[in-house]
Chain A
Amino acid sequence: MKSSISIEMVMLLAGLLFVLGIAGVIIRKNIIFMLLSVEVMLNASGLAFVAAGSRWAQPDGQVMFIFILAMAAAEVSIGLALILQIYHQHKSLDIDKLKEMKG
């Protein structure tokens, strides 16, 4: 079976998704949305792995994707828990209000 979609297209999509994710992290003020954007970035890279794996007919791509999935799951659970705690303490999820580190 011949693939109708070229690898370049998939890579472009992955790149777009990744840039979207980054933009989300940068622009958004709410931590939850930032976390979401990070997830988007993770999946973008996962997509790139899968595409590359199928292009060179190597299982490594899928393996990496499974790793990424597992990590994302862990990250979300911990991240959400942290966000809950932050909300409990500060009654806010605005990242600019939460920053405490200064020089």
Chain B
Amino acid sequence: MNNLLWLVPTLPLVSFLILALAGKHVSRVWVAIIGAGSVSLSAIITLIIGISFLSLPPATGNYSQTLWTWMQVGGFNPKITLFLDALSLIFVFVITFIGALIHIYSVGFMADDKDYSRFFACMNLFVFSMLLLVLADNLLLLYLGWEGVGLCSYLLIGFWYENPANGYAARKAFIITRVGDTAMAIGLFVIFYQFGTLVIPDVLAKAPILWHQGAYMATITALLLLAGGVGKSAQLPLQTWLPDAMAGPSPVSALIHAATMVTAGVYLIARMHVIFQLSPIAQMIVAVIGTATLFIAGLSALTQYDIKRVLAYSTISQIGYMFLALGVGAWTAAIFHFVIHAFFKALLFLAAGAVIEALHHEHNMFKMGGLKNKLPVIFWTFLVGSASLAALPLISAGFYSKDQILWYAWASQSGNPLLWFIALLGAFITALYTTRMMILVFWGEAKTAIGHHPGKLMTVPLIILAFFSLFAGFIELPHNFGHFTLFSNLLHQVLPETVLKAGINTELQFQVLASLSTFGGIYLAYIFYYKQPQRIEKLKQSGFAMNLYFFWFSGWGFDKLYNVLIVKPIVFIANINKNDVVDKLYQGITFVTIRLYQSLSFTQSGSLRWYVMGLVIGAIIILSIQIML
């Protein structure tokens, strides 16, 4: 059944082509059927392939399917080859499955939009590109998918194009990720010259032979790839685009900016883990970036009033956890958190979208409130998602994945108490802002009337996602607690096992601490936002607190910094040089010529006698010169 693999990305592509070329002539029902149906079909095929892959694993642990040779120049011959192993299977599963749910949700969510077919065309193209990204067997094809998802992200952030702010956000997203992509492209050049190939398995096989542990080139390559990942996954210092990217429709935020595309960086690092393992420095940097990001973004999430921006910052923060896990060598933990995060964050975004639509496109949480009884389905599913995000112990999937990362941040060989402590603090902050969001949206008194209730098409995907947000965690249980390792067993075909420090054997106190931090966050939010809101008012009086608030609110001033350091100077130079300073040189030449001819044309007076005089004087001068010499 594995040879059906090509169908998985092709179906969304075909659907994209149909909708893009003939979208005008297809009725809305058929747009929905084609758009959502193709992705659902892909999901089903993925299930079939997945089952056959798991029940009859190929001898090599992977399966590849070459469609055609892209090009062949000298020694450079990338092929269009799909490559399936445990890692890509998990990603493909998440992309198609969550993608299908979000498409179905979108059928309801976008029902009134005039650009219905354009929306589904872009979404399908996104799914195609993302699938290509994770199924690529060589880095060039991966780069195709990588840029493709960037394009779709751009198209969908700016989907409501009449508002220039959306276009601005879209361009910001594209250009900032492009900065990372460019570094990654340079990384590809380095890899090609080092290994003579861009085929991922070959590169991974050759890397340990060519490079010794800690080799200089390995660090450079790893850092260049990391830069690509940082851009796409909105990590420090390229994280500023993601909060603005919330300008797109909610399903887009759910699919692209939470569940799949922004985790491409995680995929890339996991996929190229051999190179990262060869460079402890680069891995350390990955961990530090992840930790710093999760902390900074968490605090920013705490101060937002726009519900989608809270979720955006929370996404940045959660991906920070994944980076932390990658950095400390907890490869499977990172991927596990990716899967769980995809479920609950997609759920949260979709639910938030439903809330926003129900409240006439109101994004401000302070104008919501009291929705607990009015939108029960949304409330319960949102609650489940929030619990998972806040890592509510034992019952939520998020607990199992995040706890694992916390534990490895301390216990793995490259772990470090400081990383662990900040991550723990991050967990506390996560619980705090999640609870704040829950309370503001669903409790208290209603401030905005409800427009219309979400239909079945929207609630059913929510319920399915909520189910997974609760129970998906049980496929991987801590070793002191069931020790069920289905997920990591599967992944260990591809990714190495995490090496633990010697002499640590109990995970229990870490689990207790993690639980305490979650409960602490929930309790604090409960006090501040529900029980004694006057404390917030008191806090607002203090100048320091307000300054801190605005600092965090603006995302730690990164936007301003880049604006002053990079954007302004370039725009300034571009604008003063609009008329091209080089052209001044040629204008100077013309100017001198014109002046010269003007001064000489003076002698052409039209007076015949002057000419004759000139002739005579000239003759005399020539003659006298001749005589004298």
Name A residues whose Cβ lies closer than 8 Å to a Cβ of B.
22, 25-27, 34, 95-96, 99-103
A101 and B605 form a contact (CB under 8 A): yes
- Picked from A22, A25, A26, A102, the residue with its CB within 8 Å of the CB of B604 is A102
| A54 to B555 alpha-carbon distance, docked (Å) | 109
Number of interface residues of B (CB under 8 A): 13
A95 and B605 form a contact (CB under 8 A): no
- Picked from B604, B609, B616, the residue with its CB within 8 Å of the CB of A103 is B604
Which 8 residue pairs spanning A and B have beta carbons closest together? A101-B606, A99-B606, A103-B601, A26-B609, A25-B612, A103-B604, A26-B612, A99-B607
Q: Report 9 cross-chain contacts, Cβ distance below 8 Å, ordered by A residue.
A: A22-B616, A95-B609, A99-B607, A100-B606, A101-B605, A101-B606, A102-B605, A103-B602, A103-B604
- Picked from A25, A100, A102, the residue with its CB within 8 Å of the CB of B609 is A25
- B278 CB → nearest A CB, Å: 78
Q: Could you mark each residue 596-629 of chain B with 1 if its beta carbon is under 8 Å from any beta carbon of chain A, else 0?
A: 0010011111111100110010000000000000
List the B side residues contacting A96 at CB < 8 Å: 607
List the B side residues contacting A25 at CB < 8 Å: 608-609, 612
| A99 to B607 alpha-carbon distance, docked (Å) | 6
- A74 CB → nearest B CB, Å: 20
Interface centre among B607, B608, B612, B613 (most CB of A within 10 A): B608
- A23 CB → nearest B CB, Å: 10
| A51 to B180 alpha-carbon distance, docked (Å) | 95
List the B side residues contacting A27 at CB < 8 Å: 609
- B617 CB → nearest A CB, Å: 11
Given A34-B608, A99-B607, does the pair A26, B613 have CB atoms closer than 8 Å?
yes
List the B side residues contacting A34 at CB < 8 Å: 608
| A99 to B609 alpha-carbon distance, docked (Å) | 11
List the A side residues contacting B609 at CB < 8 Å: 25-27, 95
Q: Could you mark each residue 458-502 of chain B with 1 if its beta carbon is under 8 Å from any beta carbon of chain A, else 0?
A: 000000000000000000000000000000000000000000000
List the A side residues contacting B613 at CB < 8 Å: 26
List the A side residues contacting B607 at CB < 8 Å: 95-96, 99
A103 and B612 form a contact (CB under 8 A): no
List the B side residues contacting A95 at CB < 8 Å: 607-609
| A26 to B591 alpha-carbon distance, docked (Å) | 36
B616 and A99 form a contact (CB under 8 A): no
